[in-house]
Amino acid sequence: MFRSISRLHALRQPGTTRSFQTGRTVFANTPSQAASGSSTQDLPIVQYVKRKVEEWSKLQSELAPDAPSAEDISRVRKIRELEPLQKAWTDWNKTKQALDETRGLLKAEDPEMRTMAEEEYVMLSNSLNSMVETTFPALLVHTSDTAHLSAIIELRAGVGGSESALFTADLVRMYTRAAQANEWDVTMISSNTLETGGTKDAIMEVKGRGVYDALRFESGVHRVQRVPATEAKGRVHTSTVGVMVLPLTEEAESSSPEDDLFSMADVKLEVMRARGAGGQNRRRAFQILRARLMDRKLNQEMLDRRALRRNLVRSADRSEKIRTYNYAQVGFHRYSIKANTTHVSQDRVTDHRIGMSVNNLAMVMEGDGLQDFISALQQRHQEELLEEAMSE
């Protein structure tokens, strides 16, 4: 609760675990900036919430006072859907009114009253900024339908021969360490290790709540630029690895006919004699099939939504590189960086989709630094969803 001034009472804000970046501070954070504060009514998100609340009020007025009709049932459903937004809007107006009244006390002659008003102004300003940046967006963007899904990660060496295979093994280790840091369970389903070193391809199963939503944007072409251990002249080689993150679903999670991704009548089964865990392999095969079809379905839905908003969908094109790993060009060892050497030209990881670079490649490859990219990509996704919601 805020400190009470002139019987102004702060309001408790609805809790939320998601955050958004609106790219703009609505209110001054210090009383000295109060005079230059921008008008909140001009913000697109505030205008949108206002229109939604007006729609809520109109639906309320259209309800039949006596016997409800079929249209009333639809209205009630929409009213309930907009109710949290209406409550947040009420809190917004009351807090804004309290801020306007507090602004008049900033020039009070009584020093103690002026100090209390300054403290109140800062807290109310922070509260309103939080509503714009967190509360309103969280109510407009619905919880992800895939928040409960785990993931399957497929990695395949691409351009670069043996160096690409070595980097595939590095990425397997990176994702394993990142999963362990998040306390997710990791299982290696299959791995094609080369005698010369490195991994040609690998399939990993990562289980935990929110795994797919966290890792889905790792899908794409990962490029590495470094001096191979076998390079005698110190030339930088460029290699690529293809990564695909698929949603992992169990058969028990798809009990609804609407959620069926395929029919057994459309599946051709070939039975062959072989040693080993036949039933286990059959279950794995169907698990990967279901994951591929789910990935295709989710990606198509995302493409359809984006196509309605804009014609250009470059971020979903997996043929383009999404991230580049530039190793420090020092010595001839892949991981050696001399502490006393000043000739370090790279040691950087860049995600080309969001233009983000991290100048600590070792931390990223150890899994800890990967979280920075994951968080930034999730943030961008949430902002795109908010933009879609406000364009409806």
* Of the residues 140, 162, 180, the one at which a domain ends: 140
Pair 195, 331 in one domain: yes
Pair 118, 170 in one domain: no
Position 28 scores a pLDDT of: 59
Q: Is 361 helix (H, G, I), strand (E, B) or coil?
A: helix
**Which residues span the domain enclosing 365?**
150-390
Pair 243, 129 in one domain: no
Q: Which residues contact 30 (CB under 8 A, 6 or more apart)?
A: 122
Pair 79, 199 in one domain: no
**Per-residue pLDDT reduced to its tens digit, 345-368:** 578 999 999 999 999 999 999 999
Pair 117, 168 in one domain: no
* Mean pLDDT of all residues belonging to the chain: 76
* Of the residues 112, 140, 168, the one at which a domain ends: 140
Pair 198, 323 in one domain: yes
Q: 174 burial class (0-12, 13-18, 19+ CB within 10 angstroms)?
A: buried
* Of the residues 88, 105, 140, the one at which a domain ends: 140
Position 286 scores a pLDDT of: 60
Asked whether residue 186 is domain-assigned, the answer is yes
Position 318 scores a pLDDT of: 38
Pair 159, 131 in one domain: no
Asked whether residue 65 is domain-assigned, the answer is yes
Position 11 scores a pLDDT of: 26
Pair 127, 207 in one domain: no
What number is the average pLDDT over the span 142-147? 80
Q: Please tell me the distance from the alpha carbon of residue 123 to that of residue 29, in angstroms, as a whole number.
A: 8
Position 81 scores a pLDDT of: 87
Buried/exposed 184-220: b ≥16 CB within 10 Å, e otherwise: bebeeeeeeeeeeebbbbbbbbbebebbbbbbbbbbb
Pair 296, 162 in one domain: yes
Percentage with pLDDT > 90 across the chain:
39
DSSP letter string, 141-203: SPPPTTTT-EEEEEEEE-TTTHHHHHHHHHHHHHHHHHHHHTT-EEEEEEEEE-TTSSEEEEE
Pair 51, 192 in one domain: no
Looking at 44-53, 137-146, 292-301, which range is the least confident one?
292-301
- For the entire predicted model, the pTM comes to 0.66
Position 261 scores a pLDDT of: 45
Pair 232, 366 in one domain: yes
Pair 47, 196 in one domain: no
* Confidence bin at 252 (pLDDT 50/70/90): very low
